[in-house]
Amino acid sequence: MFENGELAAARFHEPLIIGVGEKNYFLSSDVLGFIEQTDDAVYINNGNFVLINQAKLQIFDFDGNVIKPEITKVSKEFADVYKGDYAHFTLKEISEQSDTIFRAGESTKEALKEAVDYLRHSKNIYLTGSGTSYNASLVAKYLLAKYAKIKTESIISSELQFSPDLIEPNSILVAISQSGESADVLEAVNIAKKSNCKIISIINSLTSSLARESDIVIGMNCGPEIGVAATKSFTSQLIILYKIIQELNEEIKINFEEISSSISKILEEHNLIKKIASELKEISDIYVLGRGIHYPIAIESALKIKELTYIHAEGIAGGELKHGPLALMDTNVFVIIINPEDSTYQDTLTSAREIKARGAKIIGISDKNSDAYDFWVKIPKTDELTYPISETIPIQLLSYYAALEKETDPDYPRNLAKSVTVK
Ligand code: BG6
């Protein structure tokens, strides 16, 4: 800011967007910073800077050449950025999932088909993301192997810089990111591009840096996700994965209506889930146990609990219980058992009984009740492929209501950011 009131700003990697109001300008890293004042935006390119004074907006590149401002009408999807009658964005976004799952990938159908083509014919395929998006890549690894016979490797985005040789040159990197601005994901994409990899990305924000860096962009299309803890973006990522699998394996026919009605049925259980959440108020350790495809969901569940309630939580592969975690089981512990009646059911029920014998409290997430559970949250019976979506919903709700019990701020958890755009 200069004495004469002129304001200068520059974009050097991290996003910079200008909101053009009736009588004023806004500088922000995200449209959501000014969407309530204007939906006219100027996206500033990397290596450009702007000078703003009372009435004038000038854009230059770093060599001083004038750049003509191009105003973009922000898509109306941002119109529903308001909480409406929900207490928090997080609850609103959890509740929207019975609808958002129908929109995932719908605005980029051609891109999804193109991505399938690349996946079908590529030797090495890597998946990467951070946080919940990384957990979606773990689900993808299981499902692509089991239902499309495609082997992939999941890599935590921030880890790739320390083992760049994990990526074979001329491979495919599927980058998953809600914001498309996570510095770790952009860094991983950069490394992969240096090895001449094709970048397929699954993103919610199609005007993001990651979109610009990608060869193929599949849109989550789930509307702005304001709550810092990812909820609807996670299930949108899974739906896109299901659509990819459906294209790769014609024997697979996903019933999206059934998934949506399962989500709606579980959302109706919110009073029961709220009651269970009240039991967690004084708990300091929560474990989430799952086998097979339910193990990555156990990991994602533990992350949701940590982010929203600040309670220590850990996801455990069911078979690993006896190799260590069983030593942690005692009367101070709650264990969430993800156990729909599928191929993992009996083994996981046995684990539940082993844990119960040590005095821990058990919350069973299943289509079938058991005397092993102290609390049971019923999820509708579906097939093994689509359980990951329905079993996530009760955990999101449980984490949200437990956050209210702990009086944290579910939308803006301490120390966390919606998109970590710096390393
Ligand atoms: C974290 C967010 O900062 O970044 C998480 O709090 C998110 O919700 C993670 O999963 C990755 O963000 P993105 O935008 O790359 O999916």
What is residue 81's predicted lDDT score, i.e. its pLDDT? 61
The token pair at 366 is 């299943």
Q: What percent of the chain has pLDDT over 70?
A: 98
Write the CB contacts of 219 (distance below 8 Å, at least 6 apart in sequence).
Answer: 105, 107, 108, 111, 203, 204, 206
Q: Residue 72 C-alpha to ligand 1 middle, in angstroms?
A: 26
Q: Which residues line ligand 1 (CB under 6 A)?
A: 130-133, 177-179, 182, 185, 228-230, 416-420
Q: Residue 324 C-alpha to ligand 1 middle, in angstroms?
A: 30
Taking the C-alpha atoms of residue 184 and residue 158, their distance in angstroms, rounded to an integer, is 5
What is residue 217's predicted lDDT score, i.e. its pLDDT? 97
What is residue 403's predicted lDDT score, i.e. its pLDDT? 96
Taking the C-alpha atoms of residue 98 and residue 264, their distance in angstroms, rounded to an integer, is 6
Write the CB contacts of 26 (distance below 8 Å, at least 6 apart in sequence).
Answer: 18, 19, 20, 33, 34, 37, 38
Average pLDDT (193-201) is 96
Q: Residue 417 C-alpha to ligand 1 middle, in angstroms?
A: 8
Are 319 and 290 contacting, i.e. CB atoms less than 8 angstroms apart? no
Which of 89, 179, 299 to mutate to test ligand 1, by most ligand atoms within 8 A of the CB atom?
Answer: 179
Which of 90, 396, 418 to mutate to test ligand 1, by most ligand atoms within 8 A of the CB atom?
Answer: 418
Which of 420, 422, 423 to mutate to test ligand 1, by most ligand atoms within 8 A of the CB atom?
Answer: 420
Taking the C-alpha atoms of residue 108 and residue 201, their distance in angstroms, rounded to an integer, is 11
* pLDDT level of residue 135 (50, 70, 90 thresholds): very high
Q: Closest by alpha carbon to 354, among 279, 283, 287? A: 287
pLDDT digits (tens, 9 = 90+) for 208-246: 899 999 999 999 999 889 899 999 999 999 999 999 999
Q: Residue 368 C-alpha to ligand 1 middle, in angstroms?
A: 33
pTM: 0.86
Place of tokens 């069983």: 326
Question: What is the overall mean pLDDT for the chain?
Answer: 93
* pLDDT level of residue 72 (50, 70, 90 thresholds): confident
DSSP 247-265: HH-TT----HHHHHHHHHH
Q: Closest by alpha carbon to 176, among 115, 118, 263? A: 115
Are 88 and 206 contacting, i.e. CB atoms less than 8 angstroms apart? no
What SS3 class is residue 57? strand
Q: Which amino acid is at 238?
A: L
* pLDDT level of residue 155 (50, 70, 90 thresholds): very high
- Whether residue 198 is predicted with pLDDT greater than 80 in this model: the reply is yes
Average pLDDT (244-259) is 95
Are 243 and 110 contacting, i.e. CB atoms less than 8 angstroms apart? no
In what helix (H) or strand (E) does residue 27 lie, and over which residues does it extend? strand 25-28
Write the CB contacts of 76 (distance below 8 Å, at least 6 apart in sequence).
Answer: 39
Nearest ligand 1 atom, CA 419: 3
Q: Which amino acid is at 204?
A: N
For the beta sheet containing 125-129, the strands, ordered from the edge strand earlier in sequence to the opposite edge, are: 153-156, 125-129, 172-177, 198-203, 216-219
- Whether residue 29 is predicted with pLDDT greater than 80 in this model: the reply is yes
Taking the C-alpha atoms of residue 338 and residue 319, their distance in angstroms, rounded to an integer, is 13
Q: Residue 329 C-alpha to ligand 1 middle, in angstroms?
A: 30
- Whether residue 153 is predicted with pLDDT greater than 70 in this model: the reply is yes
What is residue 77's predicted lDDT score, i.e. its pLDDT? 53
Are 340 and 367 contacting, i.e. CB atoms less than 8 angstroms apart? yes
Q: Residue 303 C-alpha to ligand 1 middle, in angstroms?
A: 11
Q: Residue 133 C-alpha to ligand 1 middle, in angstroms?
A: 7
pLDDT digits (tens, 9 = 90+) for 310-320: 999 999 999 99
Which of 93, 133, 213 to mutate to test ligand 1, by most ligand atoms within 8 A of the CB atom?
Answer: 133
Q: Residue 204 C-alpha to ligand 1 middle, in angstroms?
A: 11
- Whether residue 47 is predicted with pLDDT greater than 60 in this model: the reply is yes
Q: Closest by alpha carbon to 218, among 133, 147, 294, 155? A: 133
pLDDT digits (tens, 9 = 90+) for 73-89: 776 555 556 677 788 89
Which residue puts its alpha carbon closest to atom 7 of ligand 1?
Answer: 131
Taking the C-alpha atoms of residue 375 and residue 367, their distance in angstroms, rounded to an integer, is 13
